[in-house]
A and B are shown apart, each in its own frame.
Chain A
């Protein structure tokens, strides 16, 4: 980790649009006898939003946790900017993680810290030389991005579900990641707030030119966010295409997701 720290934030290196940033090849992951992913393949290109669709327990969250290195796959390659995640040392993994943001389903904000401290935490870990003035500026910019500048000194427990999601998004974006992994970003939110979060994700993606993998069951979210939809069924990438292509499919297994 100590090697991954920098003295100042580096400018976002723009990878040419269309170049692959994540390549997953022949990925296998099981928990005991339960095989969750078997020979899963996926490529995500720069500035592309890929939505992974699948039933509950299909292994969608497992997939993105393997990408960020929280889970170790049994077999297969996960290349992120050319680095094979399962083979990286802890220090190397931390370096790659500075380029990846992860929005947790339950937000995972540190509940004993204020919003400011939550946002400062990753900054202080990675950019040790930053002065307080610069940190304050970055925190306020991140909060401004999500429209919640006024919550800076509040505790997570004082905020609503939608606000928590926005703050979690601000924390995810504060290190200016090039890839963002969203784990069901609109689950548990009312439809209006869910649409606001969708729009925010799109707005911030355009602003920071990020690539993303979004795990979602929310078809409105899928429709508004996805450049490409990947259907994860029985541990494999069953099909992929644009939202409209999949929505018009005659395949029953695909249809069941679009009928509702």
Chain B
């Protein structure tokens, strides 16, 4: 019985998220556009996330290089370290780490913000004052996360490669020019493009899940905590699913 109930809840939630997402395309993208709020959200979601994403990607680049070196050394291909690290960062590590950090920071903050607005009737107050809360709160945040994550990923990749360069130079001496020449010679558009395109979907998922959880927050202040928490968990899981799908698509279209 409990299993059936769980399945029903899961299907209910899936349907509800799908409807909420559909509303973004049918309602959220119609004029009049909330440009001022969108820019404010781009600033707080994008610009303010850069230090955290930069730091984590830097460490990831450094650590990845240090971890890969012994294995490559074993097979006598240590010189290929920049190539290996570059491809790993640009194709997978950079986008996924940036998206997961982004989900932890942004999905939780959106979930908590909208959740507390919901339980204190601020969303109702907005509606009563003639403002469509979906357009003002949801569409702006989802657009901001969708547009900002690809930019953050590109910047994060660059910072990660700097971390990797430092990692390479811990045990040997490689010039900056040589390191980046090796990295970029090995990279093609088919490495970069799918990796960046999937971050639009990651960003969309993070924004949408955060908004959905916040908008459907119940049970008072406890519900706000639950919304924030479940927004992070669900958006992180969705990021991995999108990543899995993205790999399948790139394989199908021969972009690997």
**Interface of A toward B, CB cutoff 8 Å:** 1-2, 4, 65, 68, 70, 90, 94, 97-98, 100, 102, 104-106, 108-111, 121-122, 125-126, 175
Q: Choose among A94, A105, A109 the residue that contacts B130 (Cβ–Cβ < 8 A).
A: A94
Q: Binary interface profile of B, 97-118, with partner A (CB < 8 Å = 1, else 0)?
A: 0000000000000000000110
Taking a contact as CB atoms closer than 8 A, the residue among A2, A108, A125 that contacts B121 in the complex is A108
Are the CB atoms of B130 and A126 closer together than 8 Å? yes
Q: Chain B's nearest CB lies how many Å from the CB of A198?
A: 22
How far is it, in angstroms, between the C-alpha of A115 and the C-alpha of B161 when the chains are bound?
A: 47
CB-CB contacts below 8 Å: B137-190 with A:
none
Q: Does B13 contact A (CB under 8 A)?
A: no
Among B121, B127, B129, the residue within 8 A (CB) of A106 is B121
Contact check, A97 vs B128: say whether CB atoms are below 8 A apart. yes
Q: Are A121 and B130 interface neighbours, CB within 8 A?
A: no
Cβ–Cβ < 8 Å partners of B117 in chain A: 110
A90 touches B132 (CB 8 A): yes
Please, which residue of chain A has its CB at the minimum distance from the CB of B32? A2
Tell me if B16 is interfacial: C-beta within 8 Å of chain A. no
Other-chain residue from A65, A90, A97, A105 in contact with B129 (beta carbon distance below 8 A) = A97
Are A125 and B125 CB-contacts (below 8 A) given A2-B31, A111-B120? no
Smallest Cβ distance from A179 to chain B, in angstroms?
A: 12
Task: Using known A-B contacts A1-B132, A121-B129, determine if residue A108 contacts B120 with beta carbons closer than 8 Å.
Answer: yes
Contacts of B9 in A (CB 8 A): none
Whether a CB of chain A sits under 8 angstroms from the CB of B92 is: no
Residues of B contacting A125 with CB < 8 Å? 129-131
Whole-angstrom CA separation of A98 from B127 in the bound complex: 11
Report the separation of the CA atoms of residues A100 and B128 in the bound assembly, to the nearest whole angstrom. 8
Interchain CB contact under 8 A, B122 and A111: yes
In addition to A106-B121, A121-B129, 5 A-B residue pairs with Cβ atoms within 8 Å of each other are A1-B132, A102-B125, A109-B125, A110-B122, A125-B130
Q: Complex formed: what's the CA distance from A65 to B128 in Å?
A: 10
What is the number of contacts between chain A and chain B, taking CB atoms within 8 Å? 54
Q: Which of B126, B128, B131, B135 is packed against the most chain A CB atoms within 10 Å?
A: B128
Taking CB atoms, residues of chain B closer than 8 Å to A90 are 132
**A227 CA to B135 CA, complexed, in Å:** 40
Q: B12 interface residue, CB < 8 Å from A? A: no
B115 to chain A, nearest CB (A): 13
Q: Which residues of B contact A97 (CB under 8 A)?
A: 128-130
Q: Name the 5 nearest CB pairs between A and B, nearest first.
A: A108-B125, A122-B129, A108-B121, A94-B130, A102-B128
Q: List 11 A-B residue pairs with CB atoms under 8 Å apart, sorted by A's residue number.
A: A1-B32, A2-B31, A4-B130, A68-B128, A70-B124, A70-B127, A90-B132, A94-B130, A102-B125, A106-B121, A109-B125
The distance in angstroms between the C-alpha atoms of A39 and B144, with both chains bound, is: 46
Q: Report the minimum CB–CB distance from B34 to chain A (whole Å).
A: 10
CB pair B130–A108 under 8 Å, yes or no, is no
Residues of chain B within 8 A (CB-CB) of A68 are 128
Q: How far is the CB of B29 from chain A (nearest CB, A)?
A: 14
Contact partners of A110 in chain B: CB under 8 A: 117, 122, 125-126
What is the CB-to-nearest-CB distance from B43 to chain A, in angstroms, rounded to a whole number?
Answer: 14
Give chain B residues whose Cβ lies under 8 Å from the Cβ of A105.
121
Q: Please measure, in the bound complex, the distance between the C-alpha atom of A13 and the C-alpha atom of B129, giving whole angstroms.
A: 19
CA distance A1 to B124 in the complex (A): 15
Q: Which of B31, B125, B131 contacts A104 (CB 8 A)?
A: B125
Asked if A1 and B131 sit within 8 Å, CB to CB, the answer is yes
Inter-chain CA distance A14–B210, complex, in Å, is 45
The distance in angstroms between the C-alpha atoms of A1 and B133, with both chains bound, is 11
Which B residues touch A111, using CB under 8 A? 116, 120, 122
Q: Which of chain B's residues has its CB closest to A71's CB?
A: B124
- Cα–Cα distance between A63 and B30 once the two chains are bound (Å): 31
- CB pair A106–B120 under 8 Å, yes or no, is yes
B123 to A, closest residue via Cβ? A108
Q: Are B121 and A1 in contact (CB under 8 A)?
A: no
| Chain B residues closer than 8 Å to A108, beta-carbon distance | 120-122, 124-125
B27: nearest chain-A partner, CB-CB = A90
In the assembled complex, the CB of A255 is this many whole angstroms from the nearest CB of chain B, namely 33
> Which residue in chain B gives the minimum CB-CB distance to A100?
B128
Q: How far is the CB of B163 from chain A (nearest CB, A)?
A: 35
